[in-house]
Structure 1
Amino acid sequence: MKEKHTALRYLKVQNFKALDFFEIEFPPPRMTVDPDILVMGSKNGWGKTSVLEACVLLFLAAAIGEESFKLGNRYLSTDLYDLLIQAGAKQAIIEGTFEIKNESISVTLTIDKQGNINIEKTQKNIEWFSTSVGYRREIERFWSAMAGLSFDPLILPPLMYFHSYRKVQEGNLELGMLVEKNLPLNRTSRFKLEILHSMMSDANLFDNIDETTAKPVLAKLNQLVKLYTGCRIDKLRPASDSTIEFRIIPIDGGMSFTFDALSSGQKEIISTLFLLWRYSPGIILIDEPELHLNVEWHSGFIKQLYKLAPHSQYIITTHSEDVFSSVDQDRRVLLMKE
């Protein structure tokens, strides 16, 4: 039987960024064995990214509250409320309904030009997170990504947002990154930190590093690296500047090489699939996956998502006909301006 996950079932947006009015339902699948997914296709400039950002903001409003928005102006060069509210409008309204276990929670977020935030919820005593540790850092990551300062996705289980400008940052890691809590958001990749943490945990060389999840994490990473590169994880290599390089090696033999030497498409599909597997189940938002995938992976991408994390809800925007047509007709919608 499929586990009950947190899901977004309804969204209505008014005067938010590129959207003057938008309303959509995200119905559960008819059969419990079917994927909980909706793929939205459209032409450039329609506002698909704004739809996903509205989903994120509604979740932050429901789960955390006004604090989520107070962090925004720190990262944005323009006024936050000018950015979020459509030109000429006085306020933006985002409404929606979440499903948490067997409970339905309706949320309304109103933002005006003066910076007033109003949040209304039908249920106030809902536990959205298993732990609240680190949520402030992830909110900062979201706003800095909107400002173009961070390339990491938003990982705030039960919500994950893989924005279109995500990227695995090149560069080596430092051991101190294992314990440093306030690294600059543009300094390194969260994906690489996960790998460093797991490899050091598996070696059992350090105190105060949890090793219970290291083996399954490394096994899953090896599976993905093998599938998309024909390689496996090798070792960590120290550099002269006291940093550490993450190495992989061809399965059929040959010299090891740095993970950074892979193509951007290989790095992105491995990191995206790994992170959503690691932090599922939840609401997974993916903006234009085709920008980060080799063409031959487009048609099989969604099948791979569901194979890795079958108990999550997926809301995906795309320009790719292969991605769009890879789901059943009732699981996709073509967005068009009237």
Structure 2
Amino acid sequence: MTDQVKINKGNTQSDQQPKSIKIRNLKIRNFKGLDDIELDFPVPQLKGDPDIIVMGSRNGLGKTSVLESCALLFLAASQDKISLNRFLSPGISINIPDLLIRGGEEDANISGEFFIDHQKFSVNLQISRTGNFKTNTDTPAFKQVLTQKHFQLFYTSDNIERFFYSLVGLSPEPILLPHFIYFHSYRKIQEGGLELGMMVEDKSYRRLKRVRAELPISTFKLEILRSLMSRGGLFENIDDTESEKVIETLNELMSRYASGTIEKLRPSQDNTIEFRITPKNGSASFTFDGLSSGQKEIISTLFLIWKYTARYPGIVLIDEPELHLNAEWHRRFIHNLYQLAPNNQYIIATHSEDIFASVESDRRILLSSGED
């Protein structure tokens, strides 16, 4: 049976073509375990071919460090100044510069070339052990070419703090920014219901949750909750213009990978709400948390990529997409990914031979120690 996921074309801009951002070159020096490396992510040979690079290697050769370097360089290009001392809470005991800078070195350097449509931006980033990020690029021009409104909304101190929490493993949530997504290898859909207050984009609420030392809010579940609630038209100040398209796309994925759909919510005694899956075979509904790790992984990953890049296509980094997935899904992952969201650039790190072999040879990078 052909494994297909429909493309929901309704969730795209109609008034103007969205900007397209890609990274084509990356140079890394003294970053984590990487001494000195340069990589190219070339344009596909034929127009219409997937803009996908798949990296493979043995463990410990730096695939994850390459993805993290891309993430840091994009953040640096979008900011005038970054200081870890400014963005991170005082209670965080991890020395992040020590995690990022190669042992025995004073700083790490990352540089690269971004293209926004056909305009090139060269970006250089130096990370010091004091926690300061020194950037050499025309960041105002970079931000101006992109959507200025969304940079103002997304690149707040709270969101940059969450960026670093995800990058160093303090949060299981993926990094979701305009034109840029990074799914790290320790991502996880948090189990448990959601409170209605989580639907409010309010800093004080999120900080209260942090003070309570509770688990991070699941972005995937929050997007679904907002769409289900707004579809009913019962709440003010919640945009319902896209809720039907969101639920339709979600349920296409649910039908494919879980043989059911999400249509209803169930309140719990602890004042939270859980999603209920209605099976195709008519059996009793069950909670979304009852799905396998692999089902939750592939549904949430594909959904979030579609949701966050439909209007603002860009760079999508995925570390070990094969996590929890069965071998059959390995072979079809790239196809389903590109079919659902074809306008992005994908850079994927994998141990899966099936995923590595699912792209043409010119779209593969095999990292080696130089001793093989």
Give the structure-2-normalised TM-score: 0.87
Q: Residue 217 of structure 1 aligns with which residue?
A: 246
Deviation at 1:81, TM superposition (A): 1.7
Instruction: Give me the whole-angstrom Cα distance separating, in 2, the residues matched to 1:337 and 1:107.
Output: 27
Q: What letter corresponds to residue 314 of structure 2 in structure 1? A: G
Cα gap change, 1:6/1:75 in structure 2, threshold over 3 Å: closer, same or farther? farther
- Give 1:48's match in structure 2, choosing from 58, 63, 66: 63
Paired amino acid for 2:329: W
Matching of residue 97 in structure 1 with residue 118 in structure 2: no
- What corresponds to 1:133 in structure 2? 153
* Cα distance in structure 2, aligned partners of 1:331 and 1:252: 41
1:191 maps to 2:220: yes
The corresponding residue for 1:29 is 44
TM-score, structure 1 length as denominator? 0.95
Counterpart of 2:98 (choices 79, 82, 86) is 82
Structure 2 CA distance for aligned equivalents of residues 296 and 14 of structure 1: 38
Secondary structure of the structure 1 residue equivalent to 2:161:
helix
Number of aligned residue pairs: give it: 337
Q: Tell me which residue corresponds to 1:325.
A: 357
Deviation string, structure 1 residues 83-122 (Cα, Å, up to 9, x no partner): 2110011211100000012210000001222334321115
The residue type paired with residue 139 of structure 1 is I
1:317-336 deviation line (CA, Å, top 9, x unaligned): 00100000000000001110
C-alpha contact 2:124 2:137 (8 A) present in aligned 1: yes
Following superposition, the deviation at residue 64 of structure 1 comes to: 1.7
Assess, with a 3 A threshold, how the Cα gap between structure 1 residues 259 and 115 changes in structure 2: closer, same or farther. closer
What is the rounded CA distance, in whole Å, between the counterparts of 1:178 and 1:29 in structure 2?
40
Shift of 1:142: 2.2
Amino acid at match of 1:159: F
Task: Tell me the C-alpha RMSD between the 2 structures.
Answer: 1.7
Greater shift, 70-79 or 313-322, is seen at: 70-79
- Contact kept, 8 Å, 1:86 with 1:92, in 2: the verdict is yes
DSSP-derived class of the 2:141 partner: coil
Q: What residue is the counterpart of 1:5 in the other structure?
A: 20
Deviates more, 1:42-51 or 1:134-143: 134-143
The answer for the alignment partner of 1:181 in structure 2 is 202
Asked if the contact 1:76/1:143 (under 8 Å) is kept, the reply is no
1:3 Cα deviation from its structure 2 partner: 6.7
The corresponding residue for 2:347 is 315
Give 3-state SS (helix, strand or coil) of 1:291's partner: coil
Equivalent residue of 2:189, what SS? coil
Deviations along 1:295-335, one digit per CA (max 9) or x if unpaired, are 22001001111001100000000010000000000000111
Q: Give the equivalent residue in structure 2 for 1:304.
A: 336
Distance (whole Å) between structure 2 residues aligned to residue 255 and residue 234 of structure 1: 13
Matches within 5 A, 1:258-297: 258-280=287-309, 281-297=313-329
Q: How far has the Cα of 1:76 moved from its partner?
A: 4.8
Distance in 1, Cα, partners of 2:292 & 2:139:
46
Question: How far is the alpha carbon of 1:147 from its aligned partner?
Answer: 4.0
* Identity fraction in percent: 53
- Structure 2 letter corresponding to 1:161: Y
Quote the offset at 1:65 in angstroms. Answer: 3.5
Preserved contact between residue 276 and residue 309 of structure 1 (Cα < 8 Å):
yes
- What is the deviation of 1:79? 1.8
